[in-house]
Structure 1
């Protein structure tokens, strides 16, 4: 196989950029920026996410069996980048990022374009990421807008 062709072809898969959150223990939350999100069923409404193994968020999702997906708006590259690294929780914020919780206790970013929350239904443990399927149990829209894409950031992920 031509390794460069493989990498280029896989990087042509289009991705959004999301902040994925979860409940950690009884009274804490965590979140990370992710791009492996897709809807896999209409009835029931199911989505799948890819989460790097061995991370606080992956462990939290597997333990709590819940997660949120915050859809970012075009132009919110800086917000996405904040969740590429660990953030310290201060009061009701991730540093200066305000959030609230709803049905699952997972964080919902006030500045997100829209959001949905899921309860884990299936887990596939393969490779360096865990594929987690969740049923959408709540959702909301903060405003109309165009979702942020990975291409808009100038970053490449995949290959």
Structure 2
């Protein structure tokens, strides 16, 4: 799950690709299609969160992938806290990472 903050609003999506690039310095890679809404928000804000879900959290993944009809607020009913950078992180995620954009390649 990739989350971000833009214009005072939380946004999130299910990403299909995330990987660790380096431990020192800590670097991660997330692949988002240019032109999708979340990509543009992260490019503008420069911050995002990675929320790693447990195996029993597939419904949450489906929710943020837009696979559950009639959900207008993906964060409604999801316990979150605000990170140091201001992005939402899921309280019950297996793990989370608070990130800043470093490279645009």
| TM-score of the pair, normalised by structure 1 | 0.60
User: Which has the larger strand fraction?
Assistant: 1
Counterpart check, 1:29 vs 2:27: no
Q: Is the 8 A contact 1:30 1:56 kept in 2?
A: no
* Alignment RMSD: 1.7
Please identify the structure whose Cα radius of gyration is greater. Answer: 1
**5+ residue gaps, structure 1:** 1-18, 125-159
Structure 1 runs (4+) greater than 2 angstroms displaced:
86-89
Displacement of 1:114 after TM fit? 1.0
Counterpart CA distance in 1 for 2:79 and 2:37 is: 20
**5+ residue gaps, structure 2:** none
Counterpart check, 1:67 vs 2:48: yes
Counterpart of 1:76 in 2: which secondary structure?
helix
Counterpart CA distance in 1 for 2:85 and 2:25 is: 18
Match of 2:28 in 1: 47
Displacement of 1:35 after TM fit? 2.5
Q: Pairwise mapping of residues 100-115 of structure 1 onto structure 2 (< 5 A)?
A: 100-115=81-96
Displacement of 1:80 after TM fit? 0.5
Counterpart CA distance in 1 for 2:91 and 2:23 is: 26
Displacement of 1:108 after TM fit? 0.3
Displacement of 1:88 after TM fit? 3.4
